Each structure stands twice: as C-alpha cells, then as structure tokens.
Amino acid sequence: MILIDSCGWIEFLADGALSSAYEPFFEQIEDIVTPTIVVYEVYKKIKRERNEEDAMLAAALMQTTKIKSLTNSLALFAADLSLQHSIPMADACVYATALSERCRIITSDHHFSGLDNVIFIKKN
C-alpha cells in the first residue's frame, strides 16, 4: 500500500512536469490509500484551475482507492506529528494516515522532505 499526496495526484492528472515520475505509482490504483483531505485538495485545485467536470472525474478516480476519513484519534495523532515535525495541518493529516496505515507517502511537497516512510520526487 502507498499513499500519493495531493501534489502527486495533481501532477499525474494534469500531465505535469513530474507526471512520468508519478505514473508507475498509479499502476495498481487499488493499492493506493487516499485521505479525505487529499480528495479535498485535489478536487479544489482542479475545479479552480480547470472546471467542475474535470474535478468530479478526478474525485471519481480517487474513489477507486482506499479512502481514509479523518477520525478523532487520527486528528490527535496528526496534531502531535505537526508539533513534532513542524508541518502544516493538511500534511500532518496525510502523514498520520500513512503511518497509521503502514504505507509510504509519494510526494514532491517539501514539508515531507526528510521524514520517514516518504518517497520524495524532486521538482526540476
């Protein structure tokens, strides 16, 4: 199981500069864990920069993954991780989900750089 962060989804869906680096991680979509905060971020960005139809298609694709909601215990864990690693709330929720699900995060977000269980794809 892996968790692809919002930036990875957006790169892949928008055929961004790093889409080919992210593509192999999407080959077995049923093995992807997706926190609801990632659904929120991807939908919002695609709707803002493209249109609602593309945003809904992205959300539908993400629904084929293992969606994980933010529970009370996961929120508390995320808050502790945020304090420990000085990472923003959404990233802490993503990191907490990955750790609780025992999966690696695939990302290009610099907030995750140097953290355990992260496969970091550098931006050009």
- What tens digit of pLDDT does each residue of 28-52 get? 999 999 999 999 999 999 999 999 9
**Domain coverage including residue 47:** 2-120
**Amino acid code (one letter) for 121:** I
CA–CA distance, 19 with 15 (Å, rounded to integer)? 5
- Look at residue 89 in the predicted model and tell me its pLDDT: 98
Residues in contact with 49: Cβ distance below 8 Å, sequence separation at least 6, in sequence order: none
- Look at residue 124 in the predicted model and tell me its pLDDT: 74
pLDDT in tens, 9-30: 999 999 999 999 999 999 999 9
pLDDT in tens, 62-112: 999 999 999 999 999 999 999 999 999 999 999 999 999 999 999 999 999
- CATH number for 20: 3.40.50.1010
- Look at residue 19 in the predicted model and tell me its pLDDT: 96
Q: Which residue has the tokens 């493209």?
A: 50
Distance (Å) of CA 17 to CA 22, 59, 61, 69, 91: 10, 21, 21, 30, 22
- Look at residue 27 in the predicted model and tell me its pLDDT: 96
Count: domains in the chain: 1
Task: Give the model's confidence band at 123: pLDDT under 50 very low, under 70 low, under 90 confident, else very high.
Answer: confident
Q: Is the dihedral of CA 28, 96, 90, 66 positive or negative?
A: positive
CA angle (113, 26, 102) in 5-degree steps? 55
